[in-house]
Structure 1
Amino acid sequence: MKQEEVKKTIRDVMPARDESSYSSLSASCAGNRIEVISGSIGYGDEEIKSKPESSTCHGTNPVIKSTSSDITFANRWDHFLARLGVKRNEHLIVPGLHALGKPAKDSPVFASANYTLSFDALRSALAGIDAYILVLDTRGINVWCAAGKGTFGTDEIVCRIEAVKLHDVVSHRTLIVPQLGATGVSAREVGARSGFKVEFGPVRAEDLPEYLKNHHAAEEMRRVHFTLPDRIVLIPVELNNFLIPLLVASIFMLLAGGYTAAAAAITAILSGLVLFPILLPWIPTTDFSTKGFIVGGLMALPFALNAFYGMIGEALWLRSGWALAYMLTMPPVTAFLALNFTGSTTFTSVIGVRREIFRYVPKMAWMSGIGIILIIVLSSMKIFGGM
C-alpha cells in the first residue's frame, strides 16, 4: 500500500475534531493499545533491557539476537509495570535485528519500536511464523508517538538497515512497517537510500498472519479503533501519574471541610481519571474540556445539594457558601484531567489541544481559585468561631 494511501486511510477513519486532527498526536501522547503493529521483550540472555545510546545505529559486527513468540511471566510483569507507568523509561528492548523462530533468507522482515509493549505484541502475534524483527531505537516510545517525534522515521530505518547489514541477511528487499509509523517514514526515501521497499502493514499486530497471506490489508485492518477496553487499559497509568495530587487534595479538603470535603476532592479527581475515559463517546459536546465540565458538574451536584440541605442547623450563608464551593472547585478539576486525556486518544490533535488550553484553562484556573479561596474563608470562620 502506498504511503499516501495509508495516510489518507488514517485520516478518513479517525473522527476529526478539527481540520488538523489527522496528526493524531497531542500534548502528552501517552500511547495506547491500538498503536501496535509492533510490541515488548523476550528477556533472554540475548535480550537484556538497556537504555539505547544515540550511536548504537552505527555499530560494527552486528549480532542477530534470538527471540520467540512466548510471553513469559517476566514479560507480563513488565507489561503490568508499563501500564502503571512505573519505571517509564526502562521498558526497552535492545535495538538491532532479532530472529523470531528460525528465519531463512526469504523470511519477512518487520520494523518495530524498542518499547517492550510494542515488541511483545508483534512477536506474540507472529506465533508459528519465522521472521526477522528490525528494532529501531525509539528511546522506548511506542510506534505511533515515536513516528510523530521523529525517532521512528526514515533516517533511523536506513541507518538501522545498514548497521545490521540486512542486505546480507535476507535475499529480498522488503521491509514491513507499522501503518501507524507512516507519519514518520518516507517510503520513497527509504527505498532510494537503502534499496529496501517499505510495505505498510495493518494497524494491529494480530492481523499480520492474515495480512501475510497476500500482503493485502482489508479496510478493517486499516481502521483505528478506540473502544472501551482500549480506554480502560489507560486508566492505571493515569491514576499513577496523579496519585500524589490526589493525596494532597484529599488531605487539604479533609483539614478544610472534613470527610465530606475530602470525598469531594477524591470524586472530582477520579471522575476525570476513571469515569471520563469510560464515558467519553457518550458525553455531549466535542471539546474534552466541556465534556469534563459536564461530568464534573454532575458529580459536584450531590455534594452541593448535601451541603445546602444536609447541614441542618447551620446558617443559610454557610450552607450556600459550601454548596457554591463544591460547584466551583470540582468541575474544573475534572475538566482539566479530561483535557489531559487528549494525549492518550487516537483522534485529537496538537492544534485542537492548544485551542482548548487557551480557551478553557484560564476558566478552570479562575473557578478553582475562587472556590479554594472560598473554602479557606469558610474553614477559617469555622475554626475561629466566626459563624
Structure 2
Amino acid sequence: MDTPVGPVPRVRTRMLPSDRLGTALARLGATRSDYKVVPGLYCVGDPTPDSPVLVTANYKLTFDAVRRELAGIDAWLLVADTRGINVWCAAGKGLFATDEIVYSVNRSRLHQVAAHRDLILPQLGATGVAGREVRKACGFKVIWGPVRAEDLPEFLANGNQADREMRMVTFPLKERAVLIPVEIFLLWKSLAWALPALFLLSAIGPDVFSLSALWHRGLNALLATLFGVLAGCAAVPLLLDRLPWRSFWPKGALTGAVAGLAAALLLPLNGLLEPLAVLLWTTAVSSYLAMNFTGSTPYTSPSGVEKEMRRGIPLQALAGLAALALWLAAPFLK
C-alpha cells in the first residue's frame, strides 16, 4: 500500500497451508527459536490515516494470531523487534519494552502515516512498557488492548474499550494442551545422553558387564524414564487446575509417583529394589520437568520460580541419586 513514507506491506488475514505448517512445526519446537517476521509497519485491509495502530511482537505465532482476527478491519500493524519472542515473554525479558516501542514508532515514521497519536498495545506487554515514557519520547499515547487477540474486533468496535472479560488472564485446558508437544520435543538433547548412560549402568552387575542386562534392564530404565516424562510434561499441564499445591514441583512429584507405581506394576522388574528405584526415578523426572512448565503459565512470577527451584531441585537430585544407587545395587542383592 502506498503511504507518505513509501510502500507498506499489506498482509493476509487468512492463513495459508504454509502458515499452518509453520505453526505446527513451531508448536513441535522444530522452528521455535527462529520463527519470526521482519519488524516494521504493515497493514490489513485498506487503512486510512485515522485507522487504528496495533502493536505486536515479531514472533510469527503472535503475528499470525493478531492478523487472523483482523479480517474485515482496516488497521495499521506495527511489529516490534522482540527477537522472535512472544509479547508476554519479551516484556519480561525487556525486549517488548518502552525503548523498543519508541524506536519502532520513529523508525517507521508513523507520525507521517497516522493522523492520530494512539497506539494499541497488548495487555500482556504491560510489564515491559511504561506508557507515560512512550508518550514523552515519541508523542504517541499507549492504549492497553485486550489479553486475547480474538477480542480485538469487539474491542475496536467498542471504541477501544475493554470489558472485564477482556482483561481476565485465563489458562484453559486447550491452551495448556497445545504446549505439551514442544515441552517433550525440547527434551531430545537431554535424553540423547541420559538414555545411553542408563543402558550402560543397567549392564553393571555380578558379571561386571552383562549384554543381557544391558538390553533387559536398560529397556526397563528407558520405559521408566518415559513414564516420568509423560507424567511431568503431559499429566501436569492437563491436570494443572486439579492437582493440589501451588508450586509445580510437588504437582510433578505426585503425578510422577502415580506413574512410578504404574511402571512398577507393569514392567518386568526384579526384587524389591528395582521397583523402588523406578518409583523414585519417575517421581524425580516428573517433578523436575513439571517445573519447566512454570515459564509457560500466567500463574508464576520470577521470584516465585526461584523460590520453588531452591526447594524442589535438592529433593529431586536426592531422589534421582537414590534411584540410581538402588538400580545399581539391585543385581547384587537378588
Pairwise same-fold verdict (TM > 0.5): yes
Amino acid at match of 2:136: A
Residue 52 (structure 2) pairs with residue 92 (structure 1): no
May I ask how many residue pairs the two structures share in their alignment? 315
SS in 2 for 1:126: coil
Counterpart in 1 of 2:162?
217
Query: Which of 130, 145, 164 is the equivalent residue of 1:186?
Result: 130
Residue 203 (structure 2) pairs with residue 243 (structure 1): no
Distance 1:302 1:118 in 2: 39
Shift of 1:253: 4.8
Counterpart in 2 of 1:15?
none
Distance 1:357 1:375 in 2: 26
Residue 138 (structure 2) pairs with residue 207 (structure 1): no
SS in 2 for 1:217: coil
What does residue range 256-295 of structure 1 map to in structure 2 within 5 Å? 256=202, 257-295=217-255
Shift of 1:66: 2.0
Distance 1:143 1:66 in 2: 22
Distance 1:83 1:305 in 2: 34
Deviations 1:168-217 (A, max 9, x none): 11111111111111111111111122111111111111111111122211
SS in 2 for 1:378: helix
Shift of 1:302: 3.1
Pick closer, same or farther for the CA change 1:152–1:62 going to 2, 3 Å. farther
SS in 1 for 2:240: helix
Counterpart in 2 of 1:144?
88
SS in 2 for 1:319: coil
Distance 1:200 1:185 in 2: 10
What does residue range 3-152 of structure 1 map to in structure 2 within 5 Å? 63-152=7-96
Moved more, 256-265 or 97-106: 256-265
SS in 2 for 1:97: strand
Amino acid at match of 2:135: G
Unmatched segments (≥5 aa) in structure 2: 203-216
Amino acid at match of 1:236: P
Counterpart in 2 of 1:303?
263
**Contact 2:227/2:263 (<8 A) preserved:** no
Counterpart in 2 of 1:20?
none
Residue 283 (structure 2) pairs with residue 331 (structure 1): yes
**Contact 2:224/2:281 (<8 A) preserved:** no
**Contact 1:249/1:262 (<8 A) preserved:** no
**Contact 2:69/2:149 (<8 A) preserved:** yes
Amino acid at match of 2:102: V
Shift of 1:102: 1.3
Shift of 1:75: 1.1
**Contact 2:55/2:78 (<8 A) preserved:** yes
Amino acid at match of 2:165: E
Shift of 1:281: 1.0
Deviations 1:83-109 (A, max 9, x none): 111133321111110011211111111
Cα RMSD (Å) of the superposition? 2.0
- Normalization by structure 2: what TM-score? 0.89
Amino acid at match of 2:169: V
Amino acid at match of 1:377: A
SS in 2 for 1:189: helix
Unmatched segments (≥5 aa) in structure 1: 1-45, 47-60, 312-317
Counterpart in 2 of 1:198?
142
Distance 2:287 2:253 in 1: 5
- Normalization by structure 1: what TM-score? 0.77
Aligned identity (percent) is 45
